Amino acid sequence: MQRSFAEYDGFRKQRKITRREAFLAEMERVVPWSRLEALIEPHYPVAGKGRKPYPLRTMLRVHLLRHWYGYSDPGMEEALHDIPALRRFAGLDAGTGRMPDETTILNFRHLLEAHQLAESLFQEVVALLAERGLILREGTIVDATLIAAPPSTKNAARQRDPEMTSSKKGNQWHFGMKAHIGADTAHGLVHTLEVTTGKVPDYSMADTLLHGDEATAHGDRGYADKTREADRPREEDAVGPRWFVPFKRRKGCDTTEEQKRLNRLMAALRSAVEHPFRVLKRQFGYAKVRYRGLFKNEQHLFTQFALVDLYLVRRLIVPAG
């Protein structure tokens, strides 16, 4: 595609490749664009009366840029005008065409929400990674993270989000929601996501985070109950995976040296489940809810975790189709 003079960065003979450009080049390579576009295309408007819609390819790329950089709809519109690297990634040219405005960007997000396509995109990425042998389904690690919501009542409704609740972690209370994930033991890739209000206990979500084919399941003490104790003997006719949770110091009886050693081994294996949360909150900056209510935030998280998985395997996956 030939670009106008507006898309060239001056007359420097050498120009540094920025971290943003390097990141977008990696994402260009690993995102399965054709597969994701095929899921959205049946629902995407075709040209008719009125203004011609932007190509689906462009709007999908703009949508993912919002997730990677945490832009609001107006912020994304501003960024497309301000940052040439984002325009190039989206296939836009400031010199020859118009930029999507915030309403267009909002309408695309609403389209995905109306048809719950974010979950389909997540499942498509999981299927791709399974095909490439990166999700082996032999074992699952379960964990949850709290996503904060505004606790203030100084708003138009004079109330906090009724779908968010408080949860205690350690000695602190946190208001918001929880993202519960099941991650593969091979590479720590997320294959299952459940979003709940903050007060839902971790152990109650354990079984919903399993895909059903795993031989082993791993969780911290928050997932322990009478059926998942570390030293509980397994029945010969037991169904489901073998659970591994840390040994707990019992009243009047310290854990043995062997139990401490096993706890360290289990903790080392479980650490892989923290990597998706680190990418979500640090790389992509998703530490607070974006919207009111659980549904929109759940749809947002499905897309986020699809991108988290692709980010984690960006050095392992071959170019996607």
| Domain end (from 49, 81, 115) | 115
Same domain membership, residue 93 and residue 43: yes
The ranges of the chain with pLDDT < 50 are: 11, 320-321
| Domain end (from 115, 149, 177) | 115
Residue 153, pLDDT score? 86
> Is residue 317 in some structural domain?
no
* Three-state SS annotation for 48-117: CCCCCCCCHHHHHHHHHHHHHHCCCHHHHHHHHHHCHHHHHHHCCCCCCCCCCCHHHHHHHHHHHHHCCH
Same domain membership, residue 67 and residue 108: yes
Domain interval for residue 208: 136-312
Judge whether 180 and 304 are in contact, CB under 8 Å.
Answer: no
Residue 81, pLDDT score? 94
- Count of structural domains within the chain: 2
Closest C-alpha among 243, 237, 159 to residue 209: 243
Measure the CA–CA gap between 181 and 163, rounded to whole angstroms. Answer: 20
Residue 290: what are its φ and ψ, rounded to 5°?
-95, -30
Output the pTM of the full model: 0.90
pLDDT tens, position by position, 233-287: 666 556 778 899 998 877 667 788 888 899 999 999 999 999 999 999 999 999 9
**How far are the Cα atoms of 11, 208, 274 from residue 184, in angstroms, in the given order?**
48, 14, 12
> Is residue 318 in some structural domain?
no
